[in-house]
Structure 1
């Protein structure tokens, strides 16, 4: 079997939910994403292709690792029922960008605000969450190749804002936060958002498959304020891209959207 066929077979064998399995295109897109995590181009992947659970994602990962298509450094994280494939070392560095280097901008989008506002990452609830996440990733790094089941975290993360956590784990230079003790609504309705996407091509078996590596947004009104974080993210991504040979043709583009409601 070709490399692409092996990835498709692993996805269809391990990740079926109900009667419907993933399409070949979905399998290849997932493969390119996981390879990007394995190479350090992105720190983690939030699995949302279908309703497969963390146990199934772990089976998929183990199958590819057994076939030596992926390194043993990748682990499965079950975060309140949300399965993620994580490169613990890369994810730890991503969180440290917020704690130590201020290279991640945190934007408060609480529904009570007139407009989104950048907040200090040393704010007590943010810092506590980031430190807890950092400790979790260090534990996962220490666990390493011994992991055979998903690393599950429930109670530890009860007070975490998952929107913020996902932004950090996925390596975004911009992440949203809101006071979830008040409401899960936000103030982004009809707010112009700059959507930034990074895409590349996975060239396997002489056939190229395009995939989106990153997709995140920033309120257009704050674009100038977060430009340093965006430029640093783009520069780091380009440097990492040059250090690997799995994906080709990196492109970063942006567009503006305005939506009646935004779900975070």
Structure 2
């Protein structure tokens, strides 16, 4: 079997939700993203292809590792019911950088605001969350060949998961809102700049590695964060030879509602 066929077979075997298995295009897209995580092009992958559990995702990663398609360093994380595949080295490096130089911009999109704004007010919460994630990953890495995913339950109940995902997925900006007051946000009908990063894998399969947004009105203030992030991504891309044709594009969208 070819490498793509092995990835597809592993997905069909491990990630079935009820009677529904991933399609071949979905399996290939997942494979390219997992390879990107393994190569350090992205620190983590939030799995949302179907309703497969964290345990099934863990079995999928173990299957790829046994076939030597990915390294043994990849971990599976269950964050309050959300499943992620994590490159612990890349995530730890990113989190340490956030603590060191505040490289991650935080945009407050609380529903009570008239418009999104860059805020320092959630900084303490962000640092606490970052330290907790670093501690959890450090503990988990000491368990060689863990039989189960890393479950983050009670420790993350007070976290703003939107902010946590921004941290784990390596975005240069992340959204925050006061969830004690409302889970809604102020992004309705706000022009958003959507940043998309895609690559090509074997047989010309095109895959989206990143897709995130920033309010267009804050683009100039966010430009240094975005440019530094793009340079770092380009450096990582040039250090590998599996994924090709790195493309970074942007577009403007305005939506009646935005779910975070």
- Relative to the length of structure 1, the TM-score reads 0.96
1:93 Cα deviation from its structure 2 partner: 1.6
Secondary structure of residue in 2 paired with 1:187? coil
Q: Deviations over 1:161-189 (max 9, x none)?
A: 10000011111001001111111000000
Q: Deviations over 1:221-245 (max 9, x none)?
A: 1001111110010000000000011
Query: 1: distance between equivalents of 2:180 and 2:132?
Result: 19
**Structure 1 residues 103, 124: closer, same or farther in 2, change over 3 A?**
closer
- Corresponding residue for residue 130 of structure 2: 130
In structure 2, distance between residues paired with 1:123 and 1:81: 25
Give the deviation of 1:98 after TM superposition: 2.0
Aligned twin of 1:262: 258
CA distance, structure 1, for counterparts of residue 19 and residue 32 of structure 2: 24
**Which residue in 1 is equivalent to 2:233?**
237
| CA positional deviation for 1:140 | 3.0
- 5+ unaligned residues in a row in structure 2: which ranges? none
- Partner of 2:186 in structure 1? 187
* Distance (Å, rounded) in 2 between the aligned partners of 1:221 and 1:97: 26
SS of corresponding position for 1:130 = helix
Q: Which residue of the other structure, out of 220, 223, 246, is the alignment partner of 1:250?
A: 246
Q: CA deviation at 1:121?
A: 7.2
1: CA distance between counterparts of 2:251 and 2:141? Answer: 37
Q: Write out aligned runs for 1:147-186 (5 A).
A: 147-186=146-185
**Does the CA-based 8 Å contact 1:110-1:186 persist in structure 2?**
yes
| Cα deviation 1:40-88 (Å, max 9, x = unaligned) | 0000000000000000000000001001111000010011111100001
- What is the match of residue 222 of structure 1? 218
Query: 1:106, 1:121 within 8 Å by CA — same for their partners in 2?
Result: no
Per-residue CA shift, 1:85-127, capped at 9, x if unaligned?
0001101122223221222111010000111111127732222
**Count of aligned residue pairs for this structure pair:** 260
**1:195-253: CA deviations, max 9, x gaps?**
000100012xxx12110010000000100111111001000000000001110000000
SS at match of 1:195: strand
Aligned residue number for residue 42 of structure 1: 42
Structure 1 alignment gaps of length 5 or more: none
**Residues 2-52 of structure 1, C-alpha deviations (whole Å, 9 max, x = no match):** 111100000000000011111000000000000000000000000000000
Q: Once superposed, which parts of structure 1, at least 4 consecutive aligned residues long, lie more than 4 Å away? A: none
Map of 1:19 onto structure 2: 19
2:29 alignment partner in structure 1: 29
Q: Does 1:198 align with 2:197?
A: yes
Distance in structure 2 (CA, Å) of the matches to 1:32 and 1:201: 8
